[in-house]
Structure 1
Amino acid sequence: MILSKLFQNKKAVYSFEIFPPKPTAELSAVQNTIRELSALSPDYISVTCSAGGSNNAGTAGIAKLVKECGVEPLAHVTCLHSDKAAVEAALAELSRNGVQNILALRGDRIEGRPLSPDFRYASDLVSFIRAQGYAFDIAAACYPEGHPESENVREDIRNLKIKVDAGVSHLNTQLFFDNEDFFRFMELCGVAGIDVPVQAGVMPLVKKNHVDRIVALSGGKIPAKISRMISRFYDKPEALMEAGIAYATEQIIDLLTSGAAGVHLYVMNNTYVARKITENIGYILGELNQQ
C-alpha cells in the first residue's frame, strides 16, 4: 500500500523508525525487533540507511523483512554522496523487494567523501525518482526548528515548498521536544501553500547517550522541562527511561489532540519503549481514527 492512502483514510497515522544492524552485528537481532514492532500494529515502519548515512546498504533487505511481517516499509534513500547510477541501483533493488514507499533525503555530510555530481538537494532526488517511472510514493523530511544549514525557518519553508512541489506526498519532521515549535511550523507551511500531511517526529529521551549524542547531532532545542528531567535522572537509568517515556507520551497526546496528521516515533530499535508508548496512546489513536 502506498502511504498517501493511509493519510486519506486515517486522522492519525502512527509509525516507527528503525535502523539496519551494523555489518558486524547478527541479523537476528533486527529480525526480532521487526517482529516485536510489527506486533504493535503500526501503520508503517521506516528503515534508515546504514549507520552514519554512508550508503543505502542493508536498507532494501531490512525493508523486505518489514514487509514480510505484514507492515508497510518506508525505505530511506540518500543522495548527497551518490550519483544517478547509484541511486537508480538502490531504487531498482527496492522495487524488486516489493517496497512501494521511499523517504527521499539529502543525507548527512561524511568527512572525506566526495559530494554527488548529480544531486545537491533532496528536491533534486525527488525529481529524479519521479522521472524514473517507478510507482513509488515519496515522503520527505522537514524541520520544525529550521534546517541547521538554513539562515532561518522562513528560508527553510521556501526550500521545503520546492521539495514538496517536486512530488512529495507526505512529510516526516525531524525530532523536536517543544510542541509549540511544531505548531508554528505548521502555520508557516499553511501560509506557504504546503498542504501535504505532516507527521510529527518524536524521540523519547530514555538513555544518557541520547542526550549526549543524538540531541547534539540533531541540534534539537531542549526545553527547561526536559533539562530538569535529565539533570535529575541522568545517572539513574531506570528512572530516566520511565521519565522519558512519560514525557514522550504527554508530547504525543498534545500533538494528536491538536490535530497533527500523525506521529513518527524514533524508537532507536528499542521495542520496550515502543510498546510502552503504544500502550499509553493506543486508546486515543483508536478513538481518533474511528471519528
Structure 2
Amino acid sequence: MKIIDILRQDKVTLSFEVFPPKTSDSYQAVAAATREIAALRPDFMSVTYGAGGGTSEHTVGIAAGLHEQYGVETLAHLTCVSSTKEHVRNMLDKLRAHGVENVLALRGDIPADGEVAHDYHYAAELVRDIKAQGDFCVGGACYPEGHVEAANKSEDIRHLKTKIDAGCEFLTTQMFFDNNILYNFLYRIREQGITVPVVAGIMPVTNVKQIKRILSMSGTYLPERFKAIVDRFGQNPSAMKQAGVIYATEQIIDLIANGVNHIHVYSMNKPEIAAGIQASLSEILR
C-alpha cells in the first residue's frame, strides 16, 4: 500500500523511523529492535539511509524484512548527494523486487570528506528521477525552522514547492520541540499552494548526548520548558528517558488536538520508547 493512501484516510496515524546498522556485526541487534517496533503495528515504518549510502544494502534488507515478514508498510530513505544515477536505478530495482513501493527522497548530508557525486544536486532532481522509473510513492523532507543552508524561510519554501512540483506526494518534517513553529510553517506553506499531507516528525529526547548532537547538526530551537527538563533530569538517565517520552507525548497530543493527524516518531531503534508513546496514545489512536 502506498503511504499517500494511508495519509489520505480520515484517521490519526502513528509511524516510526528506524535506522540500519553501520556494520554487519550489529545487523542482528538492529533487526531484532526493528522487529519489536514492527510488532506494535504502526501505520508504517521508515528506514534511513546512511551518509554517503554506506548502509544502502542494510536499508534494503531491513525495509524488505519489515514488508515481507511482518506486513508493515515501509518507507525506504534514499539520498542522492553521493549517488550516481546508476546507483539510484539499482536501489529502486532492489526495492521494487521486494515489494517496497514507498521512497523518501533526500539530498542527504555532504560527507565529511567532501566527496560527492555530480549526477544530482537537489532532492527535487531525485524525486523527478524516481517518478520516471516506476510507480513509486515519493515523499520528501521539510524544515519548519528553515533549512540550515537556505538564505531565509521564504527561499526554503520556494525550494520546497519545486520538490512538490517534481512529484513529491507528502512531506515529513525535521524534528521540532515547539509546536507553534510547525503551526506557523503549515500556514506559510499552505499560502504558497503546498497542499500535500505533512507528517510531523517527533524526536523523544531521552539523554543529554542526543541534545548536544541535535544542536550541533541543526540548531533546533529548544523552548525554555524543555531546557528546564534537561537541567533537572539530564544527569539521571532513567528520569531523563521518562521525561523525554512524556514531553514528546504531550507534543503529539497537542498536535492531534490541533488537526495535525500524522505523527512520525524518530524511535532511535528503541522499542521501549516507541511502545511507551503508543501506549500513552492508545485511546487517541482508536
TM-score, normalising length from structure 1? Answer: 0.94
2:125 corresponds in structure 1 to 124
In structure 2, how many angstroms separate the alpha carbons of the residues matched to 1:148 and 1:21?
A: 27
Q: Deviations over 1:138-177 (max 9, x none)?
A: 0000000000101111111111011011101111000000
CA distance in 1, matches of 2:168, 2:262: 17
Shift of 1:269: 0.3
* Change over 3 Å in CA distance of 1:148–1:207 after alignment to 2: same
Change (3 A) 1:215 1:136: same
Aligned length in residues = 285
Preserved CA contact (<8 Å) 1:49 1:57:
no
Q: Partners of 1:230 and 1:50 in 2: how far apart?
A: 28
Deviation, structure 1 residue 11: 2.8
* SS in structure 1 of the partner of residue 284 of structure 2: helix
TM-aligned CA deviation for residue 242 of structure 1: 0.5
Contact 1:47/1:74, CA 8 A, preserved across alignment: yes
User: Aligned ranges for residues 58-207 of structure 1 at < 5 Å?
Assistant: 58-67=58-67, 68-132=69-133, 134-207=134-207
Tell me, yes or no, if the aligned pair for 1:60 and 1:93 is still in contact at 8 Å: yes
Supply the distance in 1 between the matched residues of 2:127 and 2:36 (Cα, whole angstroms).
32
Which string of whole-angstrom CA distances, capped at 9 and with x for unpartnered residues, describes residues 214-256 of structure 1?
A: 3421321111111111111111001100110110010000001
Query: In terms of mean alpha carbon deviation, does 16-25 or 187-196 score higher?
Result: 16-25
* Structure 1 residue aligned with 2:38: 38
- C-alpha distance in structure 1 between counterparts of 2:53 and 2:85, whole Å: 17
Mapped partners of 1:112, 1:21: distance in 2: 21
SS in 2 for 1:25: helix
Between the aligned partners of 2:114 and 2:60, the Cα distance in structure 1 is 23
Q: Provide the C-alpha distance between the structure 2 equivalents of 1:53 and 1:220, rounded to a whole number of angstroms.
A: 25
| 3-state SS of 2:57 partner | coil
Q: Report the alpha carbon displacement of residue 265 of structure 1 after superposing the two structures with TM.
A: 0.1
* Whole-angstrom CA distance in 2 between matches of 1:115 and 1:52: 8
Shift of 1:40: 1.2
Describe the superposition over 1:114-153 as per-residue Cα deviations: whole angstroms up to 9, x where unpaired: 3222111000000111112x11100000000000101111
Q: Which consecutive residues of structure 2, in runs of 5 or more, have no partner in the other structure?
A: none
1:227 correspondence with 2:227? yes
- Asked if structure 2 preserves the Cα contact closer than 8 Å seen for 1:100 and 1:135, the reply is yes
Q: Say whether residues 1:281 and 2:281 are aligned partners.
A: yes
Deviations 1:202-225 (A, max 9, x none): 001101221121342132111111
Deviations 1:7-29 (A, max 9, x none): 12233221000000121433221
Report % sequence identity: 43
RMSD: 1.4
Aligned letter for 1:118? D
Deviates more, 1:177-186 or 1:150-159: 150-159
Q: Which residue of 2 aligns with 1:12?
A: 12
Counterpart secondary structure, 1:138: strand
- Do the aligned partners of 1:53 and 1:107 also contact (CA within 8 Å) in 2? no
Q: Distance in 2 between matches of 1:92 and 1:113?
A: 28
Q: 2:220 & 2:196 partners in 1: Cα distance?
A: 24
**Normalized against structure 2, the TM-score is what?**
0.96
3-state SS in 1 of match to 2:281: helix
Which residue is equivalent to 1:258?
Answer: 258
Aligned to 1:26: 26
Q: Is the 8 A contact 2:21 2:55 kept in 1?
A: no
d(CA) in 1 for partners of 2:61, 2:82: 21
The 2-side partners of 1:53 and 1:12 are apart by: 32
Structure 1: 5+ residue stretches without partners: 287-291
Distance 1:175 1:49 in 2: 17
One-letter amino acid of the counterpart of residue 116, structure 2: L
Task: Please give the alpha-carbon distance, in whole angstroms, between the structure 1 residues aligned to 2:176 and 2:52.
Answer: 20
